[in-house]
Amino acid sequence: MRGPEADLTLLSDTLREAGKLALRYWRHKPKFYDKPGDAGPVSEADLAVNDLLLAKLRAARPEYGWLSEETADTPERLARDDCFIIDPIDGTRSFIQGEDTFAIAAGICHRGRMTTGAVYLPALERLYTAHAEGPARMNGQTITASERSAPDGATMLTATPNLAASHWPGGLPDVRRAFRPSLAYRLCLVAEGRHDSMVSFRPTWEWDIAAASLIVERAGGRATAGNGAALIFNTPGARIPSGVLAAGAALHPRLLALHLPS
């Protein structure tokens, strides 16, 4: 029987299998090359994990569309009501360097809205999951986003350029900055309440945030585009031009007001 619960089981089981494959390359000097157009590196592990996910997930749900960072895109997915959105390895640079915070992210959207999401960090053995009808979980335990409301003193996962005063015309918040290479992991840390917020004001690929944005929402937080608009997925360009802003439900509107004052 199909539905969010069954889809989540499929994603979770497949990501755990993909994680085992990724670990065969991790810290074993995987081959890699730089993509054209300054699009970053891709390793042989990215491609192997992508192949595994493609084979397993499309075999189980052949009627779903497919959008992945490491698969050549086609317009075919736009005609499908449901679509897989995949990042085989989020944080490829850190993976190549042997760091342990890389993630494998897989989600399913229905007519633009996320219904299912899973993010797995195989080196840390952390599996974050959610579907649209249930709570967010990490390794099976329910997680909740921060209840903090005050921007000053809040923790924010972000790259330093996002704290330029030009991004905050309503006043630069006095946050405590932290960073993780994987956007999906940053979102999951907000969902878990280990950090109060995360922002990235650069145009953001859908596969970097699709699965984890649902996990934030089901944890009681808010995840929107950087301009406050609702996140819509499986779009023709597969990109969110204004980036992403995620935080606990009380903090999110206050950060947005500083970024986009009325």
Binding residues for Mg(2+): 69, 87, 89-90, 208
Question: Which residues, other chains included, contact 5 with Cβ-Cβ below 8 Å and sequence gap of 6+?
Answer: 131, 133, 134
- Determine how many CB atoms are found less than 10 A away from the CB of residue 117: 34
* DSSP 8-state code for residue 107: E
* DSSP 8-state code for residue 20: H
Which of these, 52, 67, 62, lies nearest to 16 by C-alpha position? 52
Q: Which residues are annotated as a binding site?
A: 69, 87, 89-90, 208
Angle between helices 206-218 and 183-191 (to 10 degrees): 0
Question: Which residues, other chains included, contact 230 with Cβ-Cβ below 8 Å and sequence gap of 6+?
Answer: 224
CA atoms within 13 A on the CB side of 46: 24
Residue with tokens 């959008």: 67
Token duo for residue 17: 């299998």
